[in-house]
């Protein structure tokens, strides 16, 4: 794990703290905790950092539209760019360049405060609303499209997002009740997210401080929020990419 390192700076007052995960493939993902989620990623640390300014602009726009700018520890002015400071780096043996992640950061080990939860839930709703705009833009014939043979199709990615809403919960909770089966992927997304919000929106004091090791990976409630938001953004981007490739054929 690395220490604090200012990688991009232009004398701006506002700072956006980043947490870097670097894999054995050299890939890099840059996470944030204020708000939780994924900021940028790349095939290398340099590539991820180069993408950070544009992604910070996108993040600020999303937060402003959802009236959630207060989730930023140090908000910056519209049209501006914060300084980016990497405060922790985790280097792992897993591949990261294709979106894989297993990191546990020191900040993940700090239980969320109850007063933070409402903002995190609102952000989950805002990101899901953006993800949902894909529904009216994906033509029926595009659901089976794969941009590369080894990648998931668009529909497989959507089902994967829904499935991970359940998978993330099982990192902390056991014996979750089964939901009705649904052949419609958008209905499945709705059912699984409703259950996730029900659990995350009604956390006991013990659940706020939950910490478990599952399949050699440490999980906490704060990490759950970060991973939920990372995963939604990651596949919002990959489905957007694949839809654009399909429509450009």
pLDDT by residue (tens digit) across 36-85?
999 999 999 999 999 999 999 999 999 999 999 999 999 999 999 999 99
Q: Which pLDDT score, from 0 to 100, does residue 204 have? A: 96
Q: Which pLDDT score, from 0 to 100, does residue 2 have? A: 55
Looking at residues 190-197, what average pLDDT do you find?
94
**Has residue 128 got a pLDDT over 70?**
yes
Region for 211 from its dihedrals, namely left if φ exceeds 0, alpha if ψ lies in -120 to 50, beta otherwise:
beta
Q: Where are the domains of the chain?
A: 1-100, 110-249
Q: Which pLDDT score, from 0 to 100, does residue 5 have? A: 54
**Has residue 21 got a pLDDT over 50?**
yes
The CA distance from 230 to 164, in Å, is 12
For residue 235, list its beta bridge partners: none
Q: Which pLDDT score, from 0 to 100, does residue 182 have? A: 87
The CA distance from 233 to 55, in Å, is 11
Q: Which pLDDT score, from 0 to 100, does residue 12 have? A: 46
Q: At what angle do helices 185-200 and 221-247 cross, to 10 degrees?
A: 160
- Lowest mean pLDDT segment, chosen from 3-17, 186-200, 230-244: 3-17
- Lowest mean pLDDT segment, chosen from 15-29, 99-113, 169-183: 169-183
> Distance of CA 54 to CAs 50, 59, 99, 108, 162, Å?
8, 9, 19, 25, 28
**Has residue 7 got a pLDDT over 80?**
no
Q: Which pLDDT score, from 0 to 100, does residue 138 have? A: 98
Under DSSP, the state recorded for 180 is: P
Looking at residues 183-199, what average pLDDT do you find?
94
The CA distance from 85 to 43, in Å, is 19
Residue bearing tokens 């006991």: 204
The residue with greater pLDDT, 178 or 23, is 23
pTM score of the predicted model: 0.92
The CA distance from 51 to 40, in Å, is 6
Q: Which CATH number fits domain 110-249: 1.10.3720.10, 3.40.50.720, 1.20.120.450, 2.40.50.100?
A: 1.20.120.450
71 touches 123 (CB < 8 A): yes
């Amino acid at each position: 794990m690395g220490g604090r390192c200012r990688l991009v700076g232009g004398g701006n007052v506002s700072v956006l703290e980043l947490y870097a995960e670097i894999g054995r493939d050299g890939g890099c993902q840059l996470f944030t905790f204020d708000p939780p989620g994924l900021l940028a990623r790349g095939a290398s640390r340099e590539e991820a950092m180069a993408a950070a300014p544009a992604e910070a602009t996108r993040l600020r726009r999303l937060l402003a539209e959802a009236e959630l700018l207060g989730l930023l520890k140090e908000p910056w002015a519209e049209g501006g760019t914060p300084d980016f400071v990497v405060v922790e780096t985790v280097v792992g043996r897993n591949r990261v360049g294709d979106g894989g992640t297993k990191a546990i950061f020191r900040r993940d080990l700090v239980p969320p405060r109850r007063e933070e939860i409402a903002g995190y839930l609102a952000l989950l709703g805002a990101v899901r609303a953006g993800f949902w705009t894909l529904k009216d833009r994906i033509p029926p014939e595009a659901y089976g499209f794969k941009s590369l043979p080894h990648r998931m199709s668009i529909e497989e990615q959507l089902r994967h997002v829904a499935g991970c809403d359940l998978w993330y919960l099982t990192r902390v909770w056991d014996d979750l009740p089964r939901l009705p089966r649904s052949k419609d992927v958008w209905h499945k997304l709705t059912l699984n997210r409703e259950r996730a919000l029900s659990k995350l929106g009604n956390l006991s004091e013990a659940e706020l401080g939950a910490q478990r090791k599952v399949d050699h990976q440490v999980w906490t409630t704060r990490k759950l929020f970060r991973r939920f938001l990372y995963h939604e953004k990651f596949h919002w981007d990959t489905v957007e990419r694949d839809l654009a490739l399909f429509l450009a054929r």
